[in-house]
A and B are shown apart, each in its own frame.
Chain A
Amino acid sequence: GESVGLHLPTLSVQEGDNSIINCAYSNSASDYFIWYKQESGKGPQFIIDIRSNMDKRQGQRVTVLLNKTVKHLSLQIAATQPGDSAVYFCAESTGGYNKLIFGAGTRLAVHP
C-alpha cells in the first residue's frame, strides 16, 4: 500500500504490551479532540474522541487523556495486537465545526 508518511516518528512495541501515543495540539481554544487510525491504503478510521470539559475517556482497549494545561493529548492502547499496527493521528476542532486540524501522526509497529 501507499505510505502515509515517510518520516513519521515510530513507536515499536511487543504484542501484548501497552502502547502510549502522544500528541501536542496547537490551539488552546480547541474544544474537541479525536484520535484516528490509518492503515496502509485506507482512509483514517475514528478511534475515540474527547471534549475539552473532560480529561479522560475510555473505550474498548483504548483510553484518551487530555491535559489542557500543557495542550497535550495521549492515546493509550491496552494489550496491543498486530492489528493495531498503523499510523495514528490526533486531531483538534474548534467551535463545533467539522474542520479538523491533524497532527503529524505516529507510526505504531507491533512485533510478535
Chain B
Amino acid sequence: KAGVTQTPRYLIKTRGQQVTLSCSPISGHRSVSWYQQTPGQGLQFLFEYFSETQRNKGNFPGRFSGRQFSNSRSEMNVSTLELGDSALYLCASSSKISGRAAGELFFGEGSRLTVL
C-alpha cells in the first residue's frame, strides 16, 4: 500500500509570492492533516480536513489555507510568503475520523519550503 505522498519535496520562493503544496493520502484514508515543522517552533498543527470540510484549525494567520478534494487529496496554500514561513510542511492521513482510535496519523516525508 502506497504511503502518504507529498509534492513537491523541495521548493524555493521569494517573499511575497504564494505557494501550493499537494498531498495524496493513503488509499482509503479520508482525514488529512497538515503540520508545519521548524527548528524553533517544532511541529505545529495547521488544519485538518475530512470529507472536503475543514474540521480543525490551528493558530496560523489567514495566509495559510487548504482544501480537500472528493478523492481525499488535499492542497495547502500560503500566500504573501514571509521569511518565517520557511519550514518543512508535513501532511498526515488517517483512517480514523473520531472516537477511540483517533489520532493515529501516517505522515508523508514533507515539502521543504525555503523563502528568500
Contacts and interface: CB of A to CB of B under 8 A. Distances in A.
Interface residues of A, number: 30
Please classify how large the interface on chain B is, using the bins under 10, 10 to 19, 20 to 34, 35 or more. Answer: 20 to 34
Identify whether the interface residues of A are mostly helix, strand, loop, or mixed.
loop
A65 to B, nearest CB: 18
B75 interface: no
Nearest to B102: A96
Interface stretch (A14-22, A55-63, A66-74, A101-109): A101-109
Identify whether the interface residues of B are mostly helix, strand, loop, or mixed.
strand
Interface of B: 4, 31, 33, 35, 37, 39, 42-45, 48, 55-56, 58, 88, 90, 92, 94, 96-100, 102-110, 112
B112 A93 contact: no
A46 B48 CA distance: 18
